[in-house]
Amino acid sequence: MRKTQPPRMENLPSTSWIKSETELADYQAALLDWYDLNRRDLPWRQNSSLYKTVVSEFMLQQTRVSTVLPYFEDWLKEFPDFKKLAQASETKVLKMWEGLGYYSRARNLHKLAKIASFWKEPPKSLLEWKALPGVGPYIAAAVSSISMNQPEAVCDGNVVRVMSRIFAISKSFKDGATAQKKIQPLAQLLISEQRPGDYNQAVMELGATVCLRFNPLCLHCPIHKNCKAGKTGKWQHYPALKAKTKKNKKIRRFWMENNNKLLLRASDEDRLMGIFELPLELPSSSEGSQISSTIIATRKRSIGNVNYTEEIYKVTSSCDEEIRLPIGYRWVEWSEMKNITLSAPHRRWINELKNKDEKNQLQ
């Protein structure tokens, strides 16, 4: 009588070299042993807690570990637990987040803290976590596995890269988000039920430090002997993501000073709501008094698949600062600039232009 494969094995891709529960256990052991010896000494892994895990996962969304590290340390000093974070003002929370971008993450983390501060016991299941502010499938799986020991697999860009390479998954995905959605069931089939949190972190750690997007360190990989892409040297073909079409967009911004104050405007875009920037438009009350405008800088940056060219015009105006400004606009004294929350590029640009202007005045 033909022996049937366990259901989990039957659902693995046809390219899988894992054919039995024993081979699956060997794969998990190799990955976990490597992780135990090579994992990075990150602050959220030191004396780990639910709060540290939640904060780190919110910060790490679409942000590099190297960028997050100083923010995480400062955040823990200011807000050591859910209760302290819940009691803080939104203004303070956003200020502490300044420079990390995607400020809706900070707002959602703040909302979650207000809920968490009343927990008798934290939620355990994936569905319960997904119901909380700002918690999508990835964070829900990360938190429930790392802090609650639930066998829920994460799937981010690192996991997609590792999975698609070790199994040589040639299917083309239109973008990273689609790839994560399609690969997640495979990641779920492979998760260690005994150490789900460590397993998830091990796969992501492998993608972040060894199975790199370019020039992967295949000879240092704990599963290189089985990795189909690594054995053939065709790692560059995986994952198969369709190239993004880049868009170009030109923006005009205005630099207007009055009595040692700079005119700023709080953004009304979802991702930067309430964060101050150089204005895209001048207040209508100042249009009649405008004398001249001169371009003083051109700055470039990319957000997602859009390349922005931002031209900054210095406006010479007789506008009286006492004129009532529209909602969102504000005259900010230079001495106060460090206290308000600015988007990171704008703080850098403002400092550069201010320093340049001061040097010119000394010459």
Tell me the two tokens of residue 175. 């973008």
For residues 267 and 318, membership in a common domain is answered with: yes
Average pLDDT over residues 6-11: 70
Interval 307-340: pLDDT, tens: 999 999 998 765 555 556 788 888 999 989 988 8
Of the candidates 241, 274, 299, which is a domain's last residue? 241
Q: Is residue 286 included in any domain, yes or no?
A: yes
Instruction: Please report the pLDDT score of residue 23 as a whole number.
Output: 93
Domain boundary among 241, 272, 287: 241
**Range ranked top by mean pLDDT from 271-280, 323-332, 336-345:** 336-345
Instruction: Indicate whether 2 belongs to any domain.
Output: no
Task: Return the pLDDT at 271.
Answer: 62
**More confident: 302 or 155:** 155
pLDDT of residue 86: 98
Same domain, 197 and 306: no
- Domain range enclosing 106: 7-241
Q: Domain check: are 76 and 222 in the same one?
A: yes
In whole angstroms, give the CA distance from residue 150 to residue 324. 56
Residue 124 covered by a domain: yes
Residue 2's pLDDT is 40
Please state the domain count of the chain.
Answer: 2
User: What is the pTM (predicted TM-score) of this model?
Assistant: 0.86
| Residue that is last in its domain, among 198, 214, 241 | 241
pLDDT of residue 293: 79
Distance CA 228, CA 165 (A): 7
- Residue 185 sits in a domain whose CATH number is 1.10.340.30
Give the mean pLDDT of 74-93.
96
Q: How does pLDDT run across 123-143, given as a tens digit for each residue?
A: 999 999 999 999 999 999 999
Q: Which two tokens stand for residue 25?
A: 């256990």
Do 251 and 280 reside in the same domain of the chain?
Answer: yes
At residue 220, what are phi and psi to the nearest 5 degrees? -100, 5
- The overall average pLDDT reported for the chain is 89
CA distances from 73 to 29, 96, 108, 111, 329 (A): 32, 11, 20, 21, 33
Q: What is the DSSP letter of 315?
A: E
Q: What is the dihedral of CA 158, 143, 104, 340, to 10 degrees?
A: -100
For the cut 60, the answer to whether the pLDDT of residue 25 exceeds it is yes
What would the two tokens of residue 102 be?
Answer: 């995607």
Bridge partners, residue 297, by sequence: 312
Report, as residue numbers or ranges, the catalytic residues. 57
3-state secondary structure of 274: coil
Please state, as a whole number, how many other Cβ atoms lie within 10 Å of the Cβ of residue 144.
Answer: 28
Task: Name the least confident of 11-15, 102-106, 152-156, 312-316.
Answer: 11-15
Which region, left, alpha or beta, applies to residue 241 given φ > 0 means left and ψ of -120 to 50 means alpha? beta
pLDDT grade, residue 292 (50/70/90)? low
Average pLDDT score over residue span 251-256: 92
Of 255 and 317, more confident: 255
